[in-house]
Chain A
Amino acid sequence: MVKPSRFNFWARLSADRHLLFNGVTGALYELNDQERQAVLRLLQGSQQLEGVAHDDLVRLLYRGGFLISDQTDEVAQLVQQFEHEARCHRILDITVSPTYECNFRCRYCYVQFQDGRMDADIEQRVVRFIGRQFERYQVTNLTWFGGEPLLCLETVLRVSSELRSAAARMNVHLIGLIATNGYLLGLKTAQELCDAGVTYFHVTVDGSQVCHDRLRVLADGRPSWTRIMENIRTVLENVASAELTLRMNVSEETVASAYQALDEIPLIHRGRVQLNVMPIIWGNELPKPGLFHSANQVIKYALTQGYQYYDMQISPGKRCFCNATKLHNYQIGPDGGLYKCSPSGKPEVHVGQLNNEGIAEYNEKHALWHENADPKGQCLHCPYLCFCFGGCRLDQLRGVSQRSCRARYQDMEGLILSRYVALQGKPAYTSD
């Protein structure tokens, strides 16, 4: 006997074409009106289907995970997967902030810009700490973050190079990334970073020049758009191994200008650029539902213009909301502090310290992050459990997890349509 999955989602593609998506398996089917009616009846338990072979349809839907065995407890399986992901040695994610200083003062930024940069002693602690983890992992994501990490370029290069050599000796695949505002990402710097194994660049451009320069200004108030765009184009043109994530933080006032920014990157390079558009959250004020829809419209448009697909919201296989819930994943601060998230304004996230030997010494807060962290309560009844797995752990610890957990799924149809375009739609630009 079978029953419908709790995690089936519909989206309308056109007047008579529909999409059926399963959030657990990632299966995506396109149906006409008649097929949709048959599937709806079948999912509701009907055995009488006009014009459709009942057994064939059941088989097809079972294969996609839209129908499951009535013995299957999907929620229990998801909780089990969450717990496994939190403790398994699949992928190690370490973020290193060599400084919290920044050469920008973005209007919406929450970082407190403490002075201080990572010194040679802490660099070696970081190298020893991460190098020791290589024994247990086969893949490590090393992300440079800040503040602005390029203010400490030498640290980034030294640590990345040392770890790259150690990873090669131990047959570990090390993926290097850097989240930068892009202002200091000149050609020479980009080449040096790629040579050190840091090949993924995450740069924020908040829409058109006018919008961006209103929000993302240098510490002395000067605009930044022209130089950032010039850097981006130069890097894509001259550094073949560079991959770029173009981050756009949008508000209701700026989201329309995102389309203009997309035109700034030459067609020929867009296959190496993925777009991440996210509504800005100002303080405790949540974005309106329409903004999520507008952001998804930008993403869908970008996919038709040759940009890469990027989706961290409805990806099957994610298994957790955030890497902070994974037992061995940390951010490391300039002083060797171990954090579960960017620490500005979040004392709860400081969970330990690297000692002189580069060994983690945890404080009492470390256990809080990983004990009793599995989804529970209302989350077990939520249709989006398969994507968020209980949501932000910090929000859980603060008792405010219900505040915003569903916000990003308000335009589920838009998310599904983007996935459809990425999988099905042929981009306007192709290399041939």
Chain B
Amino acid sequence: MKIIAQATTEEEILVPISEGADSAEIRDTIVMQAQCCVVHLCGCNCSC
């Protein structure tokens, strides 16, 4: 069996942005997630 991708942990997925949670490491993670989420609008009628 070959592991192509290991499970993404909750810590990686849901970085809580609460008071004081502004380390560079967390920021990088969020930015990465934000960049994965960019450009979701399309201007056509495909419901995306």
A contact set with B: CB distance below 8 Å: 19, 22, 25-32, 35, 60, 63-65, 81, 84-85, 88-91, 93, 95, 106, 108-111, 137-139, 141, 143, 145-146, 171, 173, 175, 177, 179, 181, 200, 202, 204, 245, 247, 249, 276, 278-282, 312, 315-319, 322-323, 342, 392, 395, 404, 419-420, 423-424
Contact = CB atoms under 8 A, between A and B. Distances in A.
B43 A145 contact: yes
A138 B17 contact: yes
Contacts of B41: 95, 143, 145, 179, 202, 342
24 contacts: A22-B7, A28-B4, A85-B14, A90-B14, A90-B17, A109-B43, A139-B31, A141-B37, A145-B41, A145-B43, A171-B22, A173-B30, A175-B31, A179-B41, A204-B42, A249-B46, A278-B44, A279-B46, A312-B40, A316-B8, A316-B13, A317-B8, A323-B37, A404-B47
Nearest to A419: B5
Given A35-B1, A95-B41, A63 B6 contact: yes
Contacts, number: 155
Nearest to A60: B1
Nearest to A312: B40
A202 B13 contact: no
Residue among B14, B36, B39, B48 with the most chain A CB within 10 A?
A: B39
A35 B30 CA distance: 36
Contacts of B38: 141, 143, 175, 177, 200, 245
Given A278-B46, A281-B47, A316-B13, A420 B7 contact: no
Contacts of A90: 14-17, 30, 33
